[in-house]
Amino acid sequence: MSASIIDGKKISQHMREKIENKVMTLKNSGVTPGLAVVLVGDNQASKTYVSMKQKACEKHSIYSTLIRLDEEISEQGLLDKVIELNNDSAIHGILVQLPLPSHIDETKVIETIDPSKDVDGFHPINAGRLMTGGDGFVPCTPYGIIEMLKYENIELAGAHAVIVGRSNIVGKPMGQLLLKEHATVTYCHSKTKDLACHTKQADIIIAAVGIRELITKEHIKEGAVVIDVGMNRDDEGKLCGDVDFQGCSSKAQAITPVPGGVGPMTITMLLANTVKSAEKHSL
């Protein structure tokens, strides 16, 4: 079997057309969706992500502003900035780029963001809403993956989904979203004994770990759907995922590449969340 490639760029483009229509409708009623991105310090990877997010906003006529703060800013200084953005009516989405310097408590910062502007979906109120079936913001990466699976008409109800990774931003919310779609969900993580024994049972595998080629063809069953969230660098510095793409392609039914799979969807869902917030705030 040779897997079909799930093209994140194509699906993302399809979703962005819908987002663009919503932006136009909002603009016609006098509302421009606005996103504030807060970047603390000089982390090169963070700067790249922030710039990609801003470019996407610009391309789709969403107002975005970048607030750059010095690495040495105090925790209170950052919290004050977040509060200022909470009170700014031109801003519908607030994103504080992680990681933050070690002297700042990330949890405190996330919990200071107004949940109604928390377009990253990291606030405990939004995490709770996801868990209890309420209408909140869903973290962009798992949100993008679920949209991808639906776009590809992959049967979720009754499917066994194995998620490798249990972070608050990817693994855990991914499981909640799949549960909502009636999948049977198994979580694996760093303390899981015999990872392959679990992943081999999976109809759908979501690899969100950050270890290059952790998932090989020995980890998957014939006909599985393999979603690779990982963003790692190979020896030449090229972007690669958590999955041995070549090996798994020979066995899987469908697979996402890195780059060009989950990554483009993540940014698109940030735009979707910002527009959703603007719609809610303009009611």
Amino acid (1-letter code) at residue 282: S
Among candidate residues 117, 118, 120, 203, the one labeled active-site is 120
| Helix axis angle, 44-59 to 262-281, nearest 10° | 60
Amino acid code (one letter) for 79: L
**CB nearer ligand NAD, residue 40 or residue 208:** 208
Give residue 19's identity as a one-letter amino acid code.
Answer: I
Q: How far is the CB of 37 from ligand NAD (least distance, A)?
A: 15
Neighbours of 143 (CB within 10 A): 23
| Residue 258 · residue 93 · CB < 8 Å | no
Q: Is 50 a binder of ligand NAD (CB under 6 A)? A: no
Q: To the nearest whole angstrom, how small is the minimum distance from the Cβ of residue 167 to ligand NAD? A: 3
- Is residue 53 part of the annotated active site? The answer reads yes
State which of positions 141-200 bind ligand NAD (CB under 6 A).
141, 164-167, 169-171, 188-190, 192, 195
Residue type (1 letter), 60: H
Q: Cα–Cα distance between 11 and 152 in angstroms, integer? A: 9
Give the span between the Cα atoms of 145 and 159, in whole angstroms.
Answer: 15
Question: Residue 135 catalytic?
Answer: no
Q: Pick between residue 26 and residue 164 the one whose CB is nearest to ligand NAD.
A: 164
216 near ligand NAD, rule: CB under 6 A: no
Select 70 or 218, whichever has its Cβ closest to ligand NAD. 218
Read off the tokens for 29: 């009623």
Instruction: Respond yes or no: is residue 76 known to be catalytic.
Output: no
Active site residues: 53, 97, 120
Name the site residues for ligand NAD (rule: CB under 6 A).
141, 164-167, 169-171, 188-190, 192, 195, 208-211, 229-232, 262-263, 266
